């Protein structure tokens, strides 16, 4: 998760939502890393998970990443969860849950659908607070502060 967090910080430094991912092979070697780049690439598929899967597929010379484990700082969305199934990774480890769009535990259990031809195990909540704090700080800086109510404005 330390490397995934480092990738998330790279994304943040580029003005991207701070999500990072790492694909670790069955023998413990990092085969691919990635971070969000949807804004800079103007690409809705440029999520951290997809970048890490693409990089690992090039290194492994195979899109089937059997035995691999994807480590990501945020619970994957529907697109990324589907990509894990198609890549046939063995497992997923994620940090913070995504209550709005999480497709592994929070909103949908995409990895356990009967029609999926491959099962991916998952473990959420690893370094949860650190991953969530990075995202909270990023969005707090991006959102304008709400105007404070004064006693004069509240009595009108």
Say yes or no to pLDDT of 154 above 50.
no
Rounded Cα–Cα distance for residues 88 and 91 (Å): 9
Active-site positions read 49
Instruction: For residue 153, name the pLDDT band (cuts at 50, 70, 90).
Output: very low
Give the pLDDT of residue 58.
98
């Amino acid at each position: 998760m330390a490397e995934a967090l480092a990738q998330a910080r790279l994304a943040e430094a580029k003005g991207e939502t701070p999500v990072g991912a790492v694909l670790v092979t069955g023998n413990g070697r990092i085969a691919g890393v990635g971070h969000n780049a949807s804004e800079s690439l103007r690409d809705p598929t440029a999520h951290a998970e997809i970048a890490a899967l693409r990089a690992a597929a090039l290194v492994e010379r195979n899109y089937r990443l059997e035995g691999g484990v994807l480590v990501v700082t945020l619970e994957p969305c529907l697109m990324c969860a589907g990509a894990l199934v198609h890549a046939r990774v063995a497992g997923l480890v994620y940090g913070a849950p995504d209550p709005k769009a999480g497709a592994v535990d929070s909103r949908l259990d995409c990895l356990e659908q009967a029609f999926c031809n491959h099962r991916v195990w998952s473990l959420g909540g690893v370094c949860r607070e650190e991953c969530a704090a990075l995202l909270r700080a990023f969005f707090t800086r991006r959102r304008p502060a709400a105007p404070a109510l004064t006693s004069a404005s509240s009595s009108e």
